[in-house]
Structure formats: C-alpha cells, structure tokens
Amino acid sequence: MTEILSVAIIITTLTSLLIVARWRNLRCEGPSPVSLFTFIAILFTSGLDVGLIMFPLVDFESYANNPAYDFANPLAFEFGFWGFLVWGFYFLTTFYFCIIEPKLKLFEVPAIKFTNNVVIVGTCAFTGFLFLQYLPSYIDGISDTARFGLVALVVLFAAMSSTHIRFVAILSLSSTWVFFALIAGVWLVSGMGFGGLASSMANIGEYFGNIHRFVLPVSDYHQFYLYWWFAWSIMIGQFVARFIGGLKTWQLLLALLIVPSIPIAIWFSVLYYYFSSGIAIPDAWRIAMIVVGVIFVVNSLDSLMRLYTQNLGLTVARLGTWQYVTGNWTALFGLVLLYQFTPLEIEWVGLVVIGIYAAVYALVFRRRADLSAA
C-alpha cells in the first residue's frame, strides 16, 4: 500500500506542477463564484474536521517519543501532516473540476460516477463513525447514550444545513470566525503573549527545512494522514470548484497552499506552547474546542451531503425538504451504526480514490485532442 500511495503522490504532484507551468495565467471561475475569503472558508471547513482541533495535543506526545520523528520537532510534524503541501491535493482536483471536467464530463461516465458517489456517501458516513469512536477521547466520561445522541444530532443538523447552498456558506463563514475566536481565547489565557507565540511558531521552520521528507510517508501514521487527504481530495475539489471567483491558476495554487496553512500554523503553535510548557488547557476552553470541533464535523458532512445528493439527483427541489432531511439522516446515521460491524479503514477508501484518479488520467490522455479543441 505504501508503494501505491507513493507513486500516486509523485504523479499528482508532478501533474500540479505541470498545470501551473502550462496554464499559470488561465482564469479559473466556477458557476457560483464568491470572494476569496468565502471560498477559503468553505474549503477550510469542508475539508477539515474535529481532528484539526483535538488531535495535536495527542500527536505531539507521540512525535516526541518516537525515533521515526527524530529529524524535526513535534510541531513541524503536526503542521506537515495538516498544512501546506497536502493542500496541493485539493488544488489538483479543484482545477480539474473547474476547467477540465466541464469539457470532458468524465465523472458522468457511469462507472466513474457510481464509484465516486459510493466513495462520497461512504466517506460521509465514515466521518460520522470516526467522530462517534473518538468522542470518549474528546469528552471524558461521556455515556454511550449521549455519544450516540450527539452524533445523531450532528448528522441531523448537517442534513438541515445542506438543504440550501446559502446555509452551507453561512455555516462555513461563521465557523471560520468561531475558530479564529477559539485561537485568540486559548492564546490569551496561556499568557504566552506575542513573543511566546512567535517563539513557538519558529519551530515550524523545521518543516520547511525538511519539506522534501514530507512528500512521501515517513511512518504508518503519516501514511494514514496521506490516504485521508487522498480519500477526500476528489469530493472536496468537486464541491468547492463551483465557488472559485476568477483566480488565475498560479494564484489558486498559492491560495490553497498558503491561506489555509496560516490559521493551522497559528493554532498548532498555540497548542504546542501548552505542550512544551507542560500547561493544561483550562476546562472551559477544552469544552470550547469540542464545540468548534463539532461544528467542523457538521461543515464537512453538510458539504458532502450537498455534493452526493446533487450528483444523484436527490435534491430538495425533487424530494421536498422533509423527505430530503429525513432520508439523508436515516441513511447516514444508519451507515454510521453499521460501520461498527465492519473493519473499514480510511486506507481502503484512499485506494479506491487512487483508482478513480488512474481511470481519469487514462481517459484524459485518450481524449486529450478533445480537450485541446474545447
């Protein structure tokens, strides 16, 4: 599996570089263009979940005590697993669905369309399942009744939010600002000040100094992250491509690599200060972290629901609001419950997505004349 992932990463990375070199000044605009801030907010909150909020404190400890991570500090690893280069996956798919797919319509090919929608529905439910599984790690002592009830409410709220694209955009913008407020609050109560934050952020320099080592998996855990990014890449690109507001290709690449990485770097640096200083995060702010994480899960789920229901023609206009919400809630929460009896791993989903990539690459190559003439 490592070899397949590595080859896929190399090919997609080279493809992204080729696209920027060949079409660097091509204007990219989706059918529903929005401002750059709104576009990044939708991308940021759709493509990330509660792990961004809660994982670092656990990951830092793991990186600090594992010889496989000796070549950089824990903050550099956490940033490398979540920031900068990995957003290149989203650049490639966003460019594809904005520029190439409207001309070739390869995702209307029955086999690709079916597989893609199975991946979207499955990953949507799998996200809810992971949230269910990790809840005891986020909320100490939570009962099974409360755990299942919270997941059911999250899926319901996501189904309701997905009924109109306006709700998705509003929730994305709101949760982005709430995340900024969380960063400010956790930073303020730490007493680190600007000097402490700058000193903590300086550790990210070791990521850029070793950036070539983050391209391919450095460990099984890094491989898990990379497969996760692959698993999400097609559906997130398909969803957010419609919102691009006229960026040139090179601007789109820089926007995706840099803009989302800034709040990620600041947030991780704040948490790293707590870790390296041996400071416990106050309970009230841990609760705030959980709340923001839950909102991020809702953002991810409503974006995916919006995508697969449109792909399958199961829209609000066709079904009606009540049938749409109850149908999506029943299907997804049912799948979340069923996942408890399966050994499904995100790596398997990633392999299927890599298979979709391979099929699309082959078809693009065969139809390159059509693409040039379009």
The CATH number given to whatever domain includes residue 18 is 1.10.4160
Residue 74 has pLDDT above 80, yes or no: yes
Predicted local distance difference test score (pLDDT) of residue 307: 87
CA distances from 270 to 47, 230, 359, 366 (A): 22, 28, 42, 49
C-alpha 102/C-alpha 79 separation (Å) is 34
Residue 222 structural domain: 2-373
CA distances from 21 to 24, 235, 249 (A): 6, 25, 9
**Band of the pLDDT at 371, cuts 50, 70, 90?**
low
Indicate the burial class of 84 (C-beta count within 10 angstroms; 0-12, 13-18, 19 or more): buried
Answer positive or negative: Cα dihedral of 332, 333, 339, 345: positive
Please name which of 83, 75, 77, 85 lies closest in space to residue 269, comparing C-alpha atoms. 75
Residue 203 has pLDDT above 90, yes or no: yes
The total of other beta-carbon atoms located within 10 Å of residue 277's CB is 12
CA distances from 205 to 65, 258, 349 (A): 20, 14, 32
pTM: 0.90
Return the half-sphere exposure (C-beta side, CA atoms, 13 A cut-off) of residue 151.
Answer: 26
Of 56-70, 85-99, 163-177, 291-305, the range with the highest mean pLDDT is: 85-99
Which residue type, as a one-letter code, is found at position 14?
A: L
The phi-psi region of residue 164 (left if phi > 0; otherwise alpha if psi is between -120 and 50; otherwise beta) is: beta
The secondary structure of 285-330 as a DSSP string is HHHHHHHHHHHHHHHHHHHHHHHHHHHHT--HHHH-HHHHHHHHHH
Q: What is the pLDDT of residues 304-361, one digit of tens each?
A: 888 888 888 888 888 898 999 999 999 889 988 888 777 777 788 889 999 999 999 9
C-alpha 207/C-alpha 230 separation (Å) is 21
In three-state secondary structure terms, 198 is helix
8 A C-beta contact, residue 25 and residue 248:
yes
C-alpha 271/C-alpha 190 separation (Å) is 9
Residue in this structure with the two tokens 């499955």, named with its chain if needed: 122
Average model confidence (pLDDT) across the chain: 89
Indicate the burial class of 15 (C-beta count within 10 angstroms; 0-12, 13-18, 19 or more): middle
C-alpha 279/C-alpha 259 separation (Å) is 29
Angle at 221 between CA 219 and CA 222, to 5 degrees: 65
CA distances from 297 to 4, 77, 171, 272, 280 (A): 29, 23, 11, 23, 25
**Band of the pLDDT at 260, cuts 50, 70, 90?**
very high
C-alpha 261/C-alpha 84 separation (Å) is 6
C-alpha 264/C-alpha 80 separation (Å) is 10
Predicted local distance difference test score (pLDDT) of residue 209: 93
C-alpha 219/C-alpha 237 separation (Å) is 27
Total domains in the fold of the chain: 1
Mean local confidence (pLDDT), 254-267: 94
C-alpha 221/C-alpha 78 separation (Å) is 11
Predicted local distance difference test score (pLDDT) of residue 373: 55
C-alpha 310/C-alpha 208 separation (Å) is 40
Q: Which of 73-87, 148-162, 271-285, 302-316 has the lowest mean pLDDT?
A: 302-316
Residue 372 has pLDDT above 80, yes or no: no
Residue 6 has pLDDT above 90, yes or no: yes
